[in-house]
Amino acid sequence: MIPWYQNLPLWVTFLPLLGALFLLFVPKGSRRTFELGALAFTVADFLLSLPLWFQYNRHDGGVQWAFSADWIPSIGVKFSVGMDGISLVLLLLTTLLGFIVVWCSFTAITERHKEYYIWLLVMQFSMLGVFITQDMFQFYLFWELMLVPMYFLIAIWGGPQKLYAAIKLFLYTLAGSVLMLVAILAIYFLQLKVTGKADMSIASFQAMAGVIAHQSHTFQILLALAFFLGFAIKVPMFPFHTWLPDAHVEAPTAGSVVLAGVLLKMGTYGFVRFLLPIAPGATKELMPYFMTLALIGVIYGALVAMIQKDMKKLVAYSSVSHLGLCMLGLFALNPNGITGGILQMLNHGISTSALFLIVGIIYERRHTRLIAEYGGLSKTMPLYATVFLIMTMSSIGLPGLNGFIGEFAILQGAFQAAPWLAVLATTGIILGAAYMLWLYQRAMFGPISETNAKMADLNLREIAYFVPLLAAAFWIGLYPKPLLNVLEAPVEKLVRQITPTYYDQVDLTKGQKEAAKVGMAGMPAPAEAETHEEAEPSHGGGH
Amino acid sequence: MQRIAWLIPVLPLAGAAFHGLLGRRAGKKAVTAVALGTVGISFILSLVLFFAAKGADAHRLDYTYFEWMTVGTLKVPFGLVFDPLSTVMALVVSGIGALIHLYSVGYMWEEEGYARYFCYLNLFVFFMLTLVLGSSLPLLFVGWEGVGLCSYLLIGYYIETDYAPAAGLKAFLFNRVGDLGMTMGMMALFATFGTLTVADILVKAGHMSPEVTCGVLTFATLMMFVGATGKSAQIPLYLWLPDAMAGPTPVSALIHAATMVTSGIYLICRLAPVFELTPTTLTVVAWTGGLTALFAATIGLFQRDIKKVLAYSTVSQLGYMFLGLGAAGFAAGFFHVFTHAWFKALLFLGAGSVIHGLHHQQDLFKMGGLKAKMPITFWTMVIATLCIMGFPGTSGFFSKDEILYLAYLKSPALYVIGLLGAACTAFYMWRLMGLAFWGEPRDHHAHDHAHESPWTMTGPLAVLAVGALLAGLLGIPKIWGGHFAIEGWLEPSLTYGKAEVAEAAEHGSHALAWGLMGLSTLVASGCALAGFLIYSKGTAAEEAFAERHPLLYRVLSNKYYVDEGVETFILAPVRWLGNLGWKLFDVILIDGVGVNLPGAVTRIAGDFTARTQTGRVRNYALGMAFGTVLLLWIFLK
């Protein structure tokens, strides 16, 4: 038996469930107990997850903390957990947001506290479960389980249109997951046919990539499309995004934060974990279409965000735009693009969550989200204005803050793969600055109305839950190296899974460059130029 | 040396942190001390490093502190570089910066947001020094965007107004367009050279010759230039700078005249060897600069707001700098950055002194006769005006004539454009002086209350005036017996990494140089005299001109209606597109047809079939009977 501290991911995942069970037995009346109890469990969960950062072996791109036990042997299902660097950063993001969403709900939630906090804890359990699982069956289970608490969070504590939004969210994502299930089953039966063995582990699914590559063309494309749809809806990519603004607008602040911060990352995580390694051939073939959709999302999301009158809707559409950029990076299929895409997931989780909290704070005070209702707030709420400004800058990718690093890496990866798409994507980034700063200007500057002049600045609790987000934004922006170190090995592994020869080609050109350098002094310049021309196609990856 | 070098940018950052976190409680005196102290020490340290670099090998100190980021194949160190180019620029930033901090103490003392103002201003100095000293393009870019942020905050400093935050937003967005150009440029440079550290790029570029450059490099330099047009307000991204005058006047002097707006020129000088490889880009730079110089100068002719005149003058002067760069005279372009920093900061601070003295009156038509009331302001501004018009012997004369000379060598047409621009410059500057300081006061109330500014404001004016006069000494041309010292001084920076430094070829002749110089002096003096004679008598002449040529006057005073054009042809369509896209795709197509329609169909179908569930036995029996008959008919047929 492994000592418990070597099996931390499991404990981190199940602690919130334990919390939910505990709260289940607390009598209904004691509101404070639920608030503090949920906070205690989520904070403990966050603290418990921190050692993972140090335990993680940065040179190993594979699964660490692996643990598995038989579950349903007849169909090859195991209870199997473990994480690599990509899962690790997302798990840490989840535990970080976990206690923040509990904390921000203290005053916002005024009814049915018991259920509310239980659902929040169950939500966290299921999200963490997705990140640590190493078994397809178990993955699907957690994936679907996530929907249930989110459905209730929106449908019970949501705004006026909550039922419409909740059902829309549920049906949309369910449609996607069912397609994904079909894809999973297709691979499962293919595997049964080829190897005669029933194995549901993710590793064995990824190992099927070679077999899949020899199946019929139609099979490969359909498989890729099924995965793509399942994840694209969750991301959401244009044109599968319309559930998102509704869900965001109707959800309580905590719901929006979880939705933007973690739930949307499930889609991008799915791409990284399944579509790219399992069906790289078909993905490469479909890449131009995927990238185009991602690009449309970037620009379209930004354009639509610009004309929104409701703050939350504006931030929701900005998510469509930012995640489009994230997908653009991932589909570039080279290390820079993929690293950038993963960073963008994390950055979006930090800055957009903060923006939803920011909207939530003034909503709590004024009960309106219409931008036109505000103005001049920086006069009466200087602290709030500062936090808002920093997060706005982080969201539009100002260097020195987190957003920039991701954006820069994505653009670089995309530029290698498809220069013109990268150039076009910058339009979305310019528009991004436009709608965010315009929002900031309309809400925070200008003359102030009498009602707004009475609004109170941030209180201690509110400051407290912004501090970790601000710290993360500055840390990633100023010194991203430790984070990039964590991602380096798993990204390299992923790139090898997509293009086994990728690094060989790069090494080769590197070698040529070295050779050119040695003899550079007397060497005519054209040789240098040739090296680059040869290097180009290898970067493309999609030819 | 490495141990203290990093303090140069970091000290102002610490100052900004102090103002931001404690400034309100600490009081104005503490804020003043910290703000001046940090920038002052930075200036002293810059001087130290300036001499250290001068004594170092190849006039260059390259300090790397730690590895900053590693993404895939991209490795970026966190490092500072001290060479002639960067130290001169750092001295300008921290030196003129310190003077303007001092001036601001007087100018902003009454303001409520005193600490906030100095927080932003110190932060600006930090980012500007990062931009100047950063050893890699990403680090330079941190400063580049950071100064944009500070510019945004300082332009919108008067937050209760509507126009100031809007101007800040405009500045940020125009810069953003340029910045993304620069990002693209970096991508292309990375694709070509495999590194983004400036020194490495230059070394690799040094081994290329212009003939073999592929399109990527031209793309890269063009994109870098797009970045420069944003920050340095060139056509087509110049529109933000005149609006940026909504900020406090010292800000206009420091950020929007002396330092930030010249960072585009600095960037191109930093990458000079790469730009030399791409003659196409240089031609584009020269023509953009030349046209901007003339275009902005013509707009400056009939502006009534004293700061707007100076703003268009800045755009125009920046145009000259690019004209110089484009003519491959990197040293000449940068020399004009240096001289312009002095006299334009002086002009803005002088204008600020006038505005301060007149209690926030900025309309030239409501000034007049201030000569006696504000003697120090008046005389220092006369010096600055002589410099900017290029009066023989002043700093502006040397730097502008060098540029015009190089422009002539590149193409006589460029020279003519530059000459026309210089003519306009001389005219509108003396118009400004005539309207403000001579003639009868046109607003007696304001004139009666006018007063000279406190020493914190006039002191910097005097220092800048001396600087403006002496700055020219660095670049006395050869025909005047000098040896254009700044060129030799900057050479190690401008040719860094080159395999072999070609001897600068002498083009043209002394006679040509004298001829061009004489011509431009003659033209500028004539226009200056005309401007002075017409406007020292008052506004009558301009009003008469407006009546005689209403169309021309309106087009010029309304800045060719470019802002209106942008609103109609770019902004409105973008908003329209956003609305259309949202309504068409999200509301009608995806949600309407794709989501809600199937939902509605399902519900209607459900409602319809639900009707058959009547609960009456006879209906079910009838259904069963029909069913049985149907089945029988099918099977027994």
The per-residue pLDDT for range A208-223, each reduced to its tens digit, is 888 888 888 999 999 9
3-state secondary structure A40-108: HHHHHHHHHHHHHHHHCCCCCCCCEEEEEEEEEHHHCEEEEEEECHHHHHHHHHHHHHHHHHHHHCCCC
Ramachandran assignment for A227, one of left (phi > 0), alpha (psi -120 to 50 degrees), beta (any other): alpha
Where residue A256 falls among pLDDT bands split at 50, 70, 90? very high
Angle value at C-alpha B341, between B494 and A398, nearest 5 degrees: 75
**Which pLDDT tens digit goes with each residue over A276-330?**
999 888 989 998 899 999 999 999 999 999 999 999 999 999 999 999 999 999 9
- Decide if B166 and A430 are in contact by the 8 Å CB cutoff: no
The whole-number average pLDDT for the span A65-92 is 90
- Find where tokens 């400063």 sit: B143
Sequence-distant (6+) residues with CB within 8 A of B79 are B62, B63, B64, B65, B134, B135, B136, B139, B197
In this prediction, residue A417 carries a pLDDT of: 87
Mean pLDDT, rounded, for B408-428:
92
Model confidence pLDDT, tens digit, residues B530-586: 989 888 888 888 888 888 888 888 888 888 888 888 888 888 888 888 888 888 888
- Residue B312 covered by a domain: yes
Say if residue B193 is in the same domain as residue B304.
yes
Alpha-carbon distances of B462 from A64, B347, B370, B399, B466, rounded to whole Å: 68, 12, 18, 21, 6
Rounded CA separation B138/B489 (Å) = 26
Backbone conformation region of residue A271, classed left if phi is above 0, alpha if psi is from -120 to 50, else beta: alpha
Beta carbons of B447 and B369 less than 8 angstroms apart: yes
A514 has a pLDDT exceeding 60 = no
In a domain, B538, yes or no: yes
Residue A51 has pLDDT above 80, yes or no: yes
Alpha carbon of B469: minimum distance to chain A alpha carbons (Å): 38
Specify whether B250 is located in the same domain as B155.
Answer: yes
Asked if the structure places residue B8 within a domain, the reply is yes
Indicate if B532 and B574 belong to the same structural domain.
no
- The angle that helices A311-331 and A280-306 make with each other, rounded to 10 degrees, is 150
B253-287: pLDDT as tens digits:
888 888 999 999 999 999 988 888 888 899 999 99
Same domain for B58 and B175: no
- Select the more confidently predicted residue: A230 or A535: A230
Alpha-carbon distance B68 to A346, whole Å? 19
pLDDT of A452 over the 70 cut: yes
> Does residue B636 fall inside a structural domain?
no
Phi, psi of A81 (to 5 degrees): -125, 170
Look up the domain containing B612 and give its range: 565-630
The answer to whether residue B43 sits within a structural domain is yes
pLDDT score at A254: 92
Find the residue in B nearest to A422 (Cα): B184
Please give the pLDDT value at position A521: 36
pLDDT at B316 > cutoff 90: yes
Residue where one domain finishes, among candidates B102, B135, B168: B135
Tokens 């909503």 sit at which residue?
A: A363
Q: What's residue A530's pLDDT?
A: 39
Region of poorest pLDDT, from A85-89, B89-93, B463-467, B478-482: B478-482
| Residues B40 and B99 occupy one common structural domain | yes
Tell the residue number behind the tokens 């700055």, with chain if given.
B471
Q: Quick one: pLDDT at residue B265?
A: 93
Q: Which of B6, B25, B71, B183 should one mutate to test binding to chain A, selecting the residue with the greatest count of A CBs within 10 A? A: B71
CB contact under 8 A, B214 and A529: yes
- Residue B253 and residue B184 in contact, taking contact as beta carbons nearer than 8 Å: no
Residue B637 resides in a domain:
no
Asked if residue B590 and residue B551 are part of one domain, the reply reads no
pLDDT band, very low/low/confident/very high, at A508 (cuts 50, 70, 90): very low
pLDDT level of residue B210 (50, 70, 90 thresholds): low
**Helix A162-195 with A136-145: angle, nearest 10 deg:** 170
Tokens of A256: 């929006």
Residues of chain A contacting B579 with CB distance shorter than 8 Å: 307
- pLDDT for the residue numbered B577: 87
Contact A532 B180 (CB under 8 A): no
Distance CA A306, CA A13 (A): 39
Domain stop point among B135, B153, B178 = B135
Is the peptide bond between B236 and the residue preceding it cis, with omega within 30 degrees of 0?
Answer: yes
Q: What is the 3-state secondary structure (H, E, C) of B508-575?
A: CCHHHHHHHHHHHHHHHHHHHHHHHHHHCCCCHHHHHHHHHCHHHHHHHHCHHHHHHHHHHHHHHHHH
Measured CA to CA in angstroms, residue A444 lies from A317, A352, A438 at distances of 20, 18, 10
Residue B311 banded pLDDT, cuts 50, 70, 90: very high
Q: Chain B residue with minimal CA distance to A414? A: B187
Q: How far is residue A525's CA from residue B452's CA, in Å, rounded to a whole number?
A: 63
Give the rounded distance of the alpha carbon of B100 from its chain centre: 18
Give the confidence band of B612 by pLDDT, cuts at 50, 70, 90: confident
Co-location of B45 and B169 in the same domain: no
Judgement on whether residues B150 and B219 belong to the same structural domain of the protein? yes
Q: Determine whether the interchain pair B72/A339 forms a contact, defined as Cβ–Cβ distance below 8 Å.
A: yes
CA B166 to chain centre: 17
Q: What gap in Å lies between CA B13 and CA B127, rounded to an integer?
A: 8
Residues B129 and B141 in one domain: no
Q: Given B162, B578, B590, which is nearest A242 (Cβ)?
A: B590
- Report whether A404 contacts A347 (CB < 8 A): no
- pLDDT of B364: 86
Give CA–CA dist A115/A152, Å, rounded: 9
Identify the band that residue B121 occupies on the pLDDT scale cut at 50, 70 and 90.
very high
Q: What's the rounded mean pLDDT across residues B213-219?
A: 77
Mean pLDDT to the nearest integer, A98-120: 90
Q: pLDDT band for B214, please (50, 70, 90 cuts).
A: low
Whether B478 and B417 share a structural domain? yes
Please give the pLDDT value at position B504. Answer: 54
**Mean residue pLDDT across chain B:** 87
Q: Which residue out of A242, A298, A429 would a mutagenesis test of the B interface target, given it has the greatest number of B Cβ atoms within 10 Å?
A: A242
**Between B95 and B207, where is the model more confident?**
B95
Based on the domain organization, do B124 and B218 belong to the same domain?
Answer: no
Tokens for B258?
């002396």
- Cα-only R_g, chain A: 23
Given an 8 Å threshold on Cβ–Cβ distance, is B585 in contact with A340? no
pLDDT > 90? residue A198: no
pLDDT of residue A93 exceeding 90? yes
Q: Would B635 be classed as within a structural domain?
A: no
Distance from CA of A297 to the nearest CA of B (A): 12
pLDDT for A528 equals 39
Per-residue CA distances from A210 to A113, A134, A213, A495, B602 (Å): 51, 20, 5, 15, 42
Alpha carbon B400 to chain centroid distance? 20
Prediction pTM value = 0.89
Q: What pLDDT is recorded for position A88? A: 94
Domain final residue pick, B135, B156, B179: B135
Give residue-wise pLDDT tens across range A455-466.
888 999 999 999
Would you say residue A527 has pLDDT above 80?
no
Q: What is the CA radius of gyration of chain B?
A: 31
Judge whether residue B72 has pLDDT over 80: no
DSSP SS3 for B447: helix
B137-194: pLDDT as tens digits: 999 999 999 999 999 999 999 988 888 999 999 999 999 999 989 988 998 888 888 8
Token pair recorded at residue B592: 């309407």
Q: Are residues B142 and B127 in the same domain?
A: no
Instruction: Please give the average per-residue pLDDT across B444-456, as a whole number.
Output: 82
Q: How confident is the model at residue B212 (pLDDT cuts 50, 70, 90)?
A: low
pLDDT band at A520 (very low <50, low <70, confident <90, very high): very low
In this complex, which of A334, A393, A411 lies closest to B183 when CB atoms are compared?
A411
Q: H/E element holding A230?
A: helix A217-234
pLDDT higher than threshold 70 for residue A415: yes
Mean pLDDT estimate for chain A: 87
Confidence of residue B501 (pLDDT cuts 50, 70, 90): low
Q: Which residues contact B633 (CB under 8 A, 6 or more apart)?
A: none
Mapped onto helix, strand or coil, the DSSP state of residue B76 is strand
- Using a CB-CB cut-off of 8 Å, the residues of chain A touching B166 are 441
Name every chain B residue with its beta carbon within 8 A of the beta carbon of A405: 69, 71
Domain count of chain B?
3
- For every residue of A108-176, DSSP letters joined together read T--S-HHHHHHHHHHHHHHHHHHHHB-BHHHHHHHHHHTHHHHHHHHHHH--TTHHHHHHHHHHHHHHH
CA A172 vs CA A284, B369, B532, B588: distances in Å: 26, 74, 74, 17
Q: Give the Cα separation of A253 and A157 in Å (integer).
A: 10
Please check whether residue B37 lies inside any domain of the structure: yes
Give tens-digit pLDDT for A262-272.
Answer: 999 999 999 99
Question: Which of B164, B184, B188 is closest, CB to CB, to A426?
Answer: B184
